[in-house]
Amino acid sequence: MYNGERMARILNVTLDYTKESGGSALSVQQFSEVLDAQTVSLTRPLSLSASGSYSEDCIHIPVKDGLMGNAYSYLSKRNADELRSIIRNTSLVICHKLFRYHNQLIMQECRSSSIPYIIVPHGSLDPYVFTYRNTQKRAWFMLVGNKLFRDASAIIYATAQEMAKASHKVPSDRGIVIRWPVYEPKNLNRNRCRELIWSRYGIQRGTLMYLMLGRLHSSKRIIEAIRGFKAARLPNAVLLIAGPEDEYTAMQISSYAKSISISNVYIIGPVYGSDKEELLSACDFSLNASYRENYCYSIVEGMSYGTPAVLTPGNDLASTLEQEGCAIRCVDYSDNSLALAMRISSTMKDADTAAMRDKARDWVRNNATIGVFQHNLLHLVNNLLDHRVCTDTVR
């Protein structure tokens, strides 16, 4: 909770703050909790009705129907005026995500009202993002983005790698790295959790378990991970794929695995609460094969339970975690590279995997707890608000 002396009103502005939004919504919630901030979301009505609000106290402003609402989160004049009014009554705005209508409203209103704002890109400046719809994004930078970043008081990145990759578009002089936190892990008995998971999914006792946790979307490269797992030829291992349906259905993923004659892949659907915690604790390695992952919550959550990771180069934490001894990084995105990383992990000695588990827990304790996040974020926010008070006094 924010404990500044000024009773500052801090505002989070984001997009589609619904239960299906995953890691980005969780980080917005953590900003709100630490700063006691109000969250406003420009939300597609269908998205809200389908999965519900991520938190009950969020103010959802519906975007317009049609192409401009769906593609640009455009608002009617009445709804835009509502957002402008909310912004005018705040001391600091935190702008989450890019390339949408809220960016220009925040920039315009903050400039006219002399309100500082922080940008949180959530991976939107990764060079991979500019490999598709590049013309629209270049136009957005010319019309909005360059001014938006020029006037920003700070830009928060989740990793040093995310900030480095953003330098092709944005100067790094106001960039700051504040890693997203995970909540304190439950005190679970790992051996008991393993027995539960083996029994729950009908897996032979003693089998190694690799876990992919996330929505069933092509950006997660689930199909490629299955191919890599097959190429690894691990008879005493299973690949568990857990997460809500998205671009793919569970049936499509399952059918694909059958079509390439691999039987040790389990599509187990979304997992929440104690089921998710037991799964994170039980598995031998987490696996993420994405082309782009600026901060993978499921990997860091798994590490809090002592589960090391196998990661492709698109994970911005991959090199850091490899250096810290709690992850195996693939050389590239090929099936053979994934297979090699999984073969290496599957043949490690018990003492070596135990050491990786200890290092994973230690990294989270030192870098990704709520306490560390709170300390770093409050330090930045207090400095910005102190500067604003001094500026207002001079005026």
> Tell me: the pLDDT tens digits for 63-114?
999 999 999 999 999 999 999 999 999 999 999 999 999 999 999 999 999 9
Q: Where are the domains of the chain?
A: 10-181+369-394, 190-367
Edge-first strand listing for the sheet containing 59-62: 59-62, 38-43, 10-15, 92-96, 117-120, 154-157, 175-177
The dihedral through the CA atoms of 180, 182, 184, 188 has a sign that is negative
pLDDT band at residue 21, thresholds of 50, 70 and 90? confident
**Residues above pLDDT 90, as percent of the chain:** 85
- Tell me: pLDDT of 294 over 60: yes
Q: Which CATH number fits domain 10-181+369-394: 3.10.20.90, 1.20.1250.20, 3.30.70.20, 3.40.50.2000?
A: 3.40.50.2000
Continuous segment of H or E residues that includes residue 72: helix 67-72
Task: List residues bridging with 329 in a β-sheet.
Answer: 311
Residue 391's pLDDT is what?
A: 52
CA atoms within 13 A on the CB side of 190: 15
pLDDT in tens, 269-283: 999 889 999 999 999
Q: What is the reported pLDDT for 6?
A: 38
* Angle, helices 297-304/273-282, rounded to nearest 10 degrees: 70
Q: What is the pLDDT of residues 298-333, one digit of tens each?
A: 999 999 999 999 999 999 999 999 999 999 999 999
In this structure, the strands spanning 237-242 and 154-157 are: unpaired
* The 327-329 sheet, strands edge to edge: 265-269, 237-242, 208-213, 285-288, 309-311, 327-329
8-state DSSP, 334: S
* pLDDT, average across residues 242-252: 93
User: What is the model's pLDDT at position 388?
Assistant: 62
Amino acid found at 98: L
CB of 240 closer than 8 Å to CB of 214: no
Architecture of domain 190-367: 3-Layer(aba) Sandwich (3.40)
pTM: 0.89
pLDDT greater than 90 at residue 387? no
Q: What is the biggest distance separating any 2 CA atoms in the chain, rounded to whole angstroms?
A: 72
Percentage of the chain beyond pLDDT 70 is 96
What's phi and psi for 204, nearest 5 deg? -60, 135
Query: Beta-strand (E) ranges in the chain?
Result: 10-15, 38-43, 59-62, 92-96, 117-120, 154-157, 175-177, 208-213, 237-242, 265-269, 285-288, 309-311, 327-329
At 8 the pLDDT is 66
pLDDT of residue 97: 97
> How confident is the model at residue 2, as a pLDDT?
47
Summary mean pLDDT of the chain: 93
Model confidence band, residue 292 (pLDDT cutoffs 50, 70, 90): confident
What is the Cα–Cα distance from 327 to 350, expressed in whole angstroms?
15
Cα-based angle 192, 194, 198 (whole degrees, multiple of 5):
120
Nearest Cα neighbor of 314 from 132, 170, 159 is 159
Instruction: Provide the strand spans (E) within 237-350.
Output: 237-242, 265-269, 285-288, 309-311, 327-329
Please give the pLDDT value at position 5: 41
Are 10-181+369-394 and 190-367 equal in CATH topology?
Answer: yes
pLDDT for 105 equals: 98
DSSP 209-228: EEEEES-B-GGGTHHHHHHH
Q: How many CB atoms lie within 10 A of CB 58?
A: 22
- Rounded-to-integer distance, Cα 229 and Cα 207, Å: 15
Asked if the model's pLDDT at residue 204 lies above 70, the reply is yes
